[in-house]
Amino acid sequence: MSTKNVLPHHLKQLLEKGEDQFQSGISVDCVIFGFHEQQLKILLLKVDTVHKWALPGGFIKKTEHIEEAAYRVLQERTGVKDIFLQQFHVFGAPDRADASIHQKRYQSFGIKIPKNNWLIQRFITVGFYALVDFNEVKIQPSEQEAQWQWMDIEYLNGLMMDHAAIVQKALETLRTQLAYLPIGKNLLPKKFTMPELQKLYETILNEKLDRRNFQRKLLSFDILNRLTETKKGGAHKAAYLYSFNEKKYQKALKDGLYGSW
């Protein structure tokens, strides 16, 4: 007998017993930023029955903190453990949740969701953004997800529900926080050049920065170690490599930096 139209166990459990395990009416959505080939990218997924791109997200277990739920979602999806994670906004428009997403998924198995089921009620979502090393991510698709893709921040379209607004708010928050928090450790390789770090800042801010002022300012924060190595293979004079000083970087995350770009 074919099992093509047999409801998967995890979807059956979600429909029938999910409200016992998860907090109804609230979820987390994560904007995962990566930096690759001088482009700021975010990680998106496409669900088979929806045919639209979406942010990775999930429900919150009744036994876990909201931040724990966000970490769980990110680790399950990316395989990355050392994640810079920041809560940035709550999205609660009355019409933001689209019940048809779940309805279409279950209809594909010939099942109609009862009107009072928790899956199709109003949901608010807590937005988190994460900074990850593009090359460290090992995408972990779940059973119901058909496709994952890194997309340039400048070329996003066709996102599900209010996910475009969530991405925009995350980007605005990241730009604002550049003025008082160190950024880069989780987006760049362990060793990088000053031009590579400047390009990261320029890409996030979407503006050109003066090379000398940028270098002077970054060095004044005292969070970088200049290495004796240089980057090989460039067409110009080999640039020195830098790394972040872990102890000082963590202190700057806690105490903050000062100044704007």
Q: What is the CATH number of the domain that holds 221?
A: 1.10.10.10
Total Cβ atoms within 10 A of residue 110: 9
Percentage of residues in the chain with pLDDT exceeding 90?
A: 53
Question: Is 70 exceeded by the pLDDT of residue 195?
Answer: yes
Is residue 65 in a domain? yes
The domain boundary, picked from 177, 204, 234, lies at: 177
pLDDT for 1: 40
Q: Give the residue numbers spanning the domain of 243.
A: 192-255
- 146 and 172 fall within a common domain: yes
Question: Is 60 exceeded by the pLDDT of residue 181?
Answer: yes
- 47 and 82 fall within a common domain: yes
How does the average pLDDT of the chain come out, rounded?
87
- 200 and 149 fall within a common domain: no
pLDDT for 173: 95
- 140 and 244 fall within a common domain: no
User: Binning pLDDT at 50, 70 and 90, where does residue 246 land?
Assistant: very high
The domain boundary, picked from 119, 153, 177, lies at: 177
**Is the pTM above the cut of 0.95?**
no
User: Binning pLDDT at 50, 70 and 90, where does residue 3 land?
Assistant: very low
pLDDT for 135: 81
User: Binning pLDDT at 50, 70 and 90, where does residue 52 land?
Assistant: confident
- 164 and 211 fall within a common domain: no
User: Binning pLDDT at 50, 70 and 90, where does residue 2 land?
Assistant: very low
Question: Is 70 exceeded by the pLDDT of residue 234?
Answer: no
Mean pLDDT of 110-125: 92
Question: Is 70 exceeded by the pLDDT of residue 241?
Answer: yes
Question: Is 80 exceeded by the pLDDT of residue 68?
Answer: yes
User: Binning pLDDT at 50, 70 and 90, where does residue 27 land?
Assistant: very high
Number of domains present in the structure of the chain: 2
Is residue 187 in a domain? no
CA separation for the pair 146, 48 (Å, rounded): 6
CA separation for the pair 145, 152 (Å, rounded): 20
Contacts of the segment 240-248: beta carbons below 8 A, 24+ positions apart: 240/193, 240/194, 241/191, 241/192, 241/193, 242/191, 242/192, 242/193, 242/194, 242/197, 243/190, 243/191, 243/192, 244/182, 244/184, 244/185, 248/222, 248/223
CA separation for the pair 203, 183 (Å, rounded): 12
- 199 and 169 fall within a common domain: no
| CATH code at position 141 | 3.90.79.10
- 55 and 135 fall within a common domain: yes
- Give whichever of 31-40, 104-113, 166-175 has the largest mean pLDDT: 166-175
- 120 and 244 fall within a common domain: no
Total Cβ atoms within 10 A of residue 179: 12
Question: Is 60 exceeded by the pLDDT of residue 4?
Answer: no
Question: Is 90 exceeded by the pLDDT of residue 174?
Answer: yes
- 66 and 136 fall within a common domain: yes
Mean pLDDT of 84-109: 90
Question: Is 60 exceeded by the pLDDT of residue 34?
Answer: yes
